Amino acid sequence: MELVNNMHIHEFQEMMKRLYIQRDSKRGVTGTYNWLLDELGELGEALEGKDKEATENEFADAIAWLASLANISGIDLESATIQKYSGKCPKCQNSPCQCTF
Amino acid sequence: MELVNNMHIHEFQEMMKRLYIQRDSKRGVTGTYNWLLDELGELGEALEGKDKEATENEFADAIAWLASLANISGIDLESATIQKYSGKCPKCQNSPCQCTF
C-alpha cells in the first residue's frame, strides 16, 4: 500500500491508472464519461446538504472519474491543465482575471 | 505571471482561487455547479471528435471548474481526494482494485 499526504495531478492520474485501468478500459470512454456525469449528479446533491464529509467524498469521486476518463482517452490531465491554466486567466491573461464579460 | 511545469492538486486549486475567487463567489455554488455541468457537456462533445488539443482543453476546463466549485464550497480538493483515494481502492482495499461487482 502506498501512503500519500500530497499529490500532483499527474501522480493522482497514475495512481488511478494502477488501480482501475483494466476496469476503465473494459467500460470504455462513453461508459466512463456517463459514470462521471452520475458522480457529478451525486456531487450536486451533496452540495445541497450540510454534510461536509459527504461533499468531500463526492469531490474526490468527481476528480477520480475525471482522471479515469483521461487515462482511457490518452490525455495527461496535468499537462492539459498547465497548458491552459498557468498562473493567469487564459482569456484576459491577467491574475486575478479581469475579463469584463 | 507565475510559470509552472508541474502542479499539486492543492496548488492548482489555490491558483484558481487567486484568478477567479471574486467571480466564483459572486456566481455562487449553484451557478458554478451548473457551469461545471456545461463544461462536462463540452468535454463529452470533444471526446466524440478526434481533436486531441480540443479534448485536452476541455479536460483542463473540467478540472478548473471543479476547483472553482471546491473553492466556494470550502472544500480542499487534494485533502478530500487523498482521504478517499490513497494508493488502494476505497471499496476493496486492493491495488489494483479487485472489486467483483
pLDDT in tens, B54-91: 999 999 999 999 999 999 999 999 999 999 999 999 99
Q: What is the pLDDT of residue B10?
A: 95
Instruction: State the Cα–Cα distance between residues A40 and A62, nearest whole angstrom.
Output: 6
- Cα gap B71→B1, rounded to integer Å: 21
Collapsing DSSP to helix, strand or coil, A8 comes out as strand
Share of chain A above pLDDT 90, in %: 89
pLDDT band at A1, cuts 50/70/90?
A: very low
Please report the number of interchain residue pairs, chain A to chain B, with beta-carbon separation below 8 angstroms. Answer: 174
pLDDT in tens, A49-88: 999 999 999 999 999 999 999 999 999 999 999 999 999 9
Interchain CB distance below 8 Å, A81 and B60: yes
Q: What is the mean pLDDT of chain A?
A: 94
Give the number of C-alpha atoms closer than 13 A to the C-alpha of residue A98, restricted to the C-beta side.
3
State the Cα–Cα distance between residues A40 and B38, nearest whole angstrom: 11
β-partners of residue A8 are B8
| pLDDT band at B4; cut points 50, 70, 90 | low
Instruction: Give the pLDDT confidence score for residue B6 in this predicted structure.
Output: 79
Contact B21 A61 (CB under 8 A): no
Q: Which of A76, A69, A72, A7 is nearest to A38 (CA)?
A: A69
**Scanning the structure block, which residue is given the C-alpha cell 459527504?**
A54
CA distance B99 to chain A (A): 10
Q: How far is A36 from chain B (nearest CA, A)?
A: 9
User: Of A6, A84, A95, which has the smallest distance from its Cβ to B1's Cβ?
Assistant: A95
Q: Would you place residue A4 in the very low, low, confident or very high pLDDT band (cuts 50, 70, 90)?
A: low
The 3-state DSSP class for residue A101 equals coil
Q: Which residues contact A38 (CB under 8 A, 6 or more apart)?
A: none
Per CB-CB distance under 8 Å, the chain A contacts of B83 are 56, 60
Judged against a pLDDT cut of 90, whether residue B43 lies above it is answered with yes
Helices (H), chain B: 9-48, 52-73, 77-84
- pLDDT for the residue A6: 78
Q: Which of A1, A5, A9, A14 to mutate to test the interface with B (most CBs of B within 10 A)?
A: A9
Q: How far does the CA of residue A56 sit from the closest CA of chain B (Å)?
A: 5
Q: Do B85 and A23 touch (CB under 8 A)?
A: no
Residue B1: pLDDT band by 50, 70, 90 thresholds?
very low
Mean pLDDT across A39-55? 97
Asked whether residue A2 carries a pLDDT value surpassing 80, the answer given is no
Q: How confident is the model at residue A89 (pLDDT cuts 50, 70, 90)?
A: very high
